[in-house]
Amino acid sequence: WGVLLLLAFAAFGLPLLAGEYLLNSILVPFLVFSLAAIGLNILTGYCGQLSLGTGGFMACGAFFAYKLTTAFPEIHIVAIFLLAGLGTAFVGILFGIPSLRIKGFYLAVATLAAQFFLIWVFNKFGWWTNYSPSGVISAPPREVVPGVVVTGTSGTPAAKYLFLLGFVAVLALVAKNLVRSRIGRTWMAIRDMDIAAEIIGIRPMYAKLSAFAVSSFFIGIAGALWAFCYTGSVEALAFEINRSFQAVDPRQGEAEALAIPLLTAAVGGGAARPRRGPPAFTRSPGRRDGAEAAQDQGPNPDSREAFEMRFKSLCLAAAGAALLATAATAPAPAAAQEQYIPLLVYKSGPYAPNGIPIAAGWEDYLKLINARDGGVGGVKLVWEECDTGYNNDRGVECYERLKKPTAAGVQPLSTGITYALIDRATQDKIPLFSSGYGRTSASYGPVFPYVFMPPLTYWSGADVIVQYISEQEGGDLSDKKVALVYHDSAYGKEPIATLERLAEEEGFELSLFPVAHPGLEQKATWLQIGRQ
């Protein structure tokens, strides 16, 4: 009964007590990574197969769901997510084949290679994004029941949270029954002693590949939920190697710090519990009676009582964390005669050398306005800062944390973060400024009324550069070569369509040279340009 009461509180109490930030930026990603943790725990915790390709399999689920949604809009969104999981399960089987011959560190390296290969596929071939010039996919709004939108940015945080809570709870129950069934026992036998398991008739190929398939199924659904219910729009690079580490390292983020230890302890116990020695079908000479050993060890970790204890611990910890977060994130009353300005900065990450002086300059300027002019029109400026690390997901979290109805506007200082915030800022009616970066098409005011891009865009910047080169060449660019060195991401690709159009009109040859993130190593690229 205690578990049912806690679940009822999570379903009916938390949506009433929690604010938008807690629901949208903490609980929603918490539930998504809970599902990813369940999938990874099946593979690594129960079957003993190391994997570092979680991010790649999440990308499979996200892009499969996007293609299914756009190709078959009449299919229900729940069916879309399940089909995306099935597609990811097939991919997991393909990349699980090496596990039949290798194990341990070598298998981890093989799955890491799969991670990079999958991201390359989704980033290289435009078919996955319906040939979007930017390479970004945007989740269309879909209803789980009539009138309740749970995908994209149109859905309310409470609707998304309740949908994910029910979805993850059902899949967690499925996972629990799987690991307690015959197939779960074969996974544990392979994990504990694969040679002995094969001797008694267990087929390692079936056990390992089924674990890869089931694990990838859960992780693929988690990736689809991440893209559709949390970010709303995503690119392939959002599922880079750091996303894989978020499923195994609880230090990667706020929501993940809750999800990983709680879920491994509650649902699986596989990766979280110590090994208990040889499997049940072996017995060393001199071993004590099984009942005596069990009495010393405590409850069997696979028993119903142990599972209920772990599940109660999960619910208590989650409820306590949610209540603390609710109190911590309660909005303070707005002070009179003050203009609030949220500052999204990047003092850490690969571009910190640029971001640190920009953040310091902003703060100095705001202090100067208050000290010299008494604010703006007699209204003092107040601000709050959040470090995005030039990371899209962290940028969304910072926006949700800092946004207030009185915010003057937001400047993300990142094209990727701008992409992720356009729909959110429009829905919140908070002006979004992206001067010289961002999504170029957002400069069209009738469609994007809350996005402002003075004084130029990627498109106009590319046009100005070509005009300058043309002037230097006497107005004739025919038989000339123009090279574009760009960040291999959605925002780096922004000027390509404009340059391709100008190449047709001006007659020059366009060469493209993508640079992998973070784009700091360009020596080989420039040597290649020099040779050509």
Reported confidence tier of residue 119, pLDDT bands at 50, 70, 90: very high
Max distance between CA atoms of the chain, in angstroms, equals: 94
Over range 289-297, report the average pLDDT: 37
288 contacts 295 by C-beta, under 8 angstroms: no
User: For the chain, what percent of residues have pLDDT higher than 70?
Assistant: 82
Q: Rounded to an integer, what distance in angstroms lies between the CA atom of residue 274 and that of residue 270? A: 8
For residue 43, give every residue at least 6 positions away whose Cβ sits within 8 Å of its Cβ, in sequence order, or none: 49, 51, 211, 212, 214, 215
Q: Rounded to an integer, what distance in angstroms lies between the CA atom of residue 190 and that of residue 31? A: 29
In this structure, is residue 348 part of a structural domain?
Answer: yes
Residue with tokens 């994209």: 152
The reported pTM is: 0.67
Over range 4-18, report the average pLDDT: 81
Domains: count for the chain: 3
In this structure, is residue 294 part of a structural domain?
Answer: no
Over range 242-262, report the average pLDDT: 55
In this structure, is residue 457 part of a structural domain?
Answer: no
499 pLDDT higher than 50: yes
For residue 136, give every residue at least 6 positions away whose Cβ sits within 8 Å of its Cβ, in sequence order, or none: 129, 233, 234, 235, 419, 490
Q: Rounded to an integer, what distance in angstroms lies between the CA atom of residue 134 and that of residue 147? A: 31
Tell me which range, 76-90, 226-240, 278-292, 336-350, is most confidently predicted by mean pLDDT: 76-90
In this structure, is residue 278 part of a structural domain?
Answer: no
Tell me which range, 11-15, 188-192, 387-391, 453-457, is most confidently predicted by mean pLDDT: 188-192
Q: Rounded to an integer, what distance in angstroms lies between the CA atom of residue 192 and that of residue 130? A: 45
| Residue 397, pLDDT score | 83
In this structure, is residue 463 part of a structural domain?
Answer: no
| Residue 318, pLDDT score | 40
Mode of pairing for the β-strands spanning 338-345 and 143-145 = unpaired
Residue 14, SS3? helix
Q: At 433, which CATH number?
A: 3.40.50.2300
Kindly state whether residues 213 and 93 are assigned to the same domain. Answer: yes
Residue 405, SS3? coil
Asked which of 71-75, 279-283, 376-380 is least confident by mean pLDDT, the reply is 279-283
522 pLDDT higher than 70: yes
Kindly state whether residues 123 and 255 are assigned to the same domain. Answer: yes
| Residue 1, pLDDT score | 65
Reported confidence tier of residue 248, pLDDT bands at 50, 70, 90: low
Phi and psi torsions of 12, nearest 5°: -115, -30
| Residue 249, pLDDT score | 57
Over range 281-301, report the average pLDDT: 38
Reported confidence tier of residue 137, pLDDT bands at 50, 70, 90: confident
Owning domain of residue 366:
338-452
